[in-house]
A and B are shown apart, each in its own frame.
Chain A
Amino acid sequence: MLFKNVSELIQATEENNISIAEVMIRQEVEETGKPREEIFAEMGRNLDIMEKSVEDGLNGVKSTSGLTGGDAVLLKNYMEKGNTLSGELVLDVISKAVATNEVNAAMGTICATPTAGSAGCVPGVLFGLKPRLNPTRKQMINFLFTAGAFGQVIANNAMISGAAGGCQAEVGSAAGMASAAAVEMAGGTPQQSAEAMSMTLKNMLGLVCDPVAGLVEVPCVKRNAMGSSQAIVSADMALAGVTSRIPCDEVIGAMFRIGKSMPSTLRETGEGGLAATPTGRALAAKIFGPAAASKEG
């Protein structure tokens, strides 16, 4: 392995004078023995899937439970009217993040980044930044390799599933990966990518996984909107030169320890948090019947 943690990843970019995406591609070649072109083409196919999910969601979808769907359309229409508070870029990012997660909740086809429940952040940020930065297809694919490099470090040193470590490990990781990749696409340094990742993940620490009725819908879809907007803000902070006092690898370590100490009711069992609210339980009863609601609750 060329890198096991973020500091080794940054070191590899500096020693070889290459981008984070390039380190990731070289490692994939080394690991799989596949030709570089094949690896690049495979990531291109994932990019195409992401673009299709965003399009489908922006056209409007509805989940079978009826809990989610249609918010991406509301956000797009609101953005197009202009006069928004957070600005067109942020609205574009979150509408595309929500679009992806609504397609996921409707059992549509998505690309997990790093998971399905957190699949909105990376494409939301990427396709939201597209009109602003006008990236080439190659740059967009590199965005995904950069996001993947940070995601791989988190997956190997902490966890990326809500069942193992709460939402901080899912949407937290996804948002962190997206912010690091956004920095690189905007022309920032590898170290600035790491700073953005740190700042995003720090603000996600402790976030629990408490899906209503156990479904990847409430609050997952909206948390992707929040995660992706935060990815943009952290990226801007890093590009402005703001740094994290706690190094990225130590933030990941903190996330791991917090995840380990989280009770199982708050790790994707549908037993605690929002799932255990009166409305959360009532929704579960409506979807699966009273027996299921008492089991969930």
Chain B
Amino acid sequence: MKFRSVFDVIGPVMIGPSSSHTAGAARIGKMARQLYGRQPKWAKIHLYGSFAKTYQGHGTDVAIVGGLLDFDTFDERIRQAFELAEEAGMAYEFIEEEGASEHPNTARIKIGDDESDFELVGISIGGGKAEITEINGFELRLSGENPAILVLHNDRHGAIASVTSVLADNKINIGHMEVSRRDKGKEAMMIIETDQRIPDEIMERLEGCDHILSVISITE
């Protein structure tokens, strides 16, 4: 069940004109921004399928840039996202990809600054919903049927246990979990698929756990 809430279908409240190409695109951009954790200085946005063919007419470009500026789907500033990106000091570039992608509305977003860079692939699945399918070259093997979160953390002992114990305390069952890291002792991530949607207050508790950098829902 990809669409678990009635507000996935009656909603989101958004700036037009397209839920998949505008609102869903904004959400992919915002998820990238949240995972990166700060305003990137540059963004290279590769568009595939219907995104590549129709992005200008649908405002997909301003929506993704708006998302990278941390705007929500209903934020009227999306319309001026290009000007606001310039003010925020973020250079951006769009690349129309000819190649096929598994999903018609796919975007590969590469962002960064002088310190570090980050890459994700997101798909817009309709009605404003978006999913992340790849992060920093690591393919997320999600069933897509259950809610999923992504936890970025420092690779220290106890980080994984602290997250799973919060979930256990709140009777949230884990259906699938993956852990990966770039280098030993550095940044690492967990992808956790759960049977139930994790309420906001528990997401906040997860963020407060030891060694946790950020926690986001990747099935928005």
Residues of A at the B interface (CB closer than 8 Å) are: 1, 4, 24, 27-28, 31-34, 39, 42-43, 45-46, 49, 63, 65, 103-117, 119, 122, 144-145, 147-149, 151-152, 155-156, 159-164, 169, 177, 211, 213-217, 264, 267-271, 287-288, 292, 295-296
A287 surroundings in chain B (CB, below 8 A): 57
Smallest Cβ-Cβ distance to A159: which chain B residue: B126
| Chain A contact residues: helix, strand, loop or mixed | helix
Q: Which of A31, A152, A160 contacts B197 (CB 8 A)?
A: A31
Q: Does B141 contact A (CB under 8 A)?
A: no
B50, A213: Cβ atoms closer than 8 Å: no
Beta-carbon contacts of B14-39 to A below 8 Å, as 1s and 0s? 11111111110000000000000000
B13 surroundings in chain A (CB, below 8 A): 45-46, 49, 109-112
B179 surroundings in chain A (CB, below 8 A): none
Please tell me which stretch of B4-12, B114-122, B152-160 contacts chain A, meaning at least 4 of its Cβ atoms lie within 8 angstroms of it: B4-12
A111, B10: Cβ atoms closer than 8 Å: yes
B50 surroundings in chain A (CB, below 8 A): 163, 264, 267-269
Residues of B at the A interface (CB closer than 8 Å) are: 1-23, 49-50, 53-54, 56-59, 74, 76, 79, 104-105, 124-128, 196-197, 199
Q: Which of B22, B49, B54, B197 has the most CB of A within 10 A?
A: B54
A152, B9: Cβ atoms closer than 8 Å: yes
Going nearest first, the 8 A-B pairs with the smallest beta carbon separation are: A214-B54, A161-B126, A104-B16, A151-B9, A148-B6, A216-B17, A155-B3, A215-B57
A213 surroundings in chain B (CB, below 8 A): 57
Smallest Cβ-Cβ distance to A150: which chain B residue: B9
B76 surroundings in chain A (CB, below 8 A): 109
Closest chain B CB from A46 CB (angstroms): 6
B6, A24: Cβ atoms closer than 8 Å: yes
A160 surroundings in chain B (CB, below 8 A): 9, 126-127
A112, B14: Cβ atoms closer than 8 Å: yes
Closest chain A CB from B61 CB (angstroms): 12
Smallest Cβ-Cβ distance to B105: which chain A residue: A163
Q: Which of A4, A115, A214 contacts B1 (CB 8 A)?
A: A4
The CA of A278 and the CA of B208, in the complex, are separated in Å by 59
B16, A288: Cβ atoms closer than 8 Å: no
B124 surroundings in chain A (CB, below 8 A): 161
Closest chain A CB from B34 CB (angstroms): 20
Closest chain B CB from A106 CB (angstroms): 7
Q: Which of A155, A156, A162, A163 contacts B49 (CB 8 A)?
A: A163
The CA of A109 and the CA of B125, in the complex, are separated in Å by 21
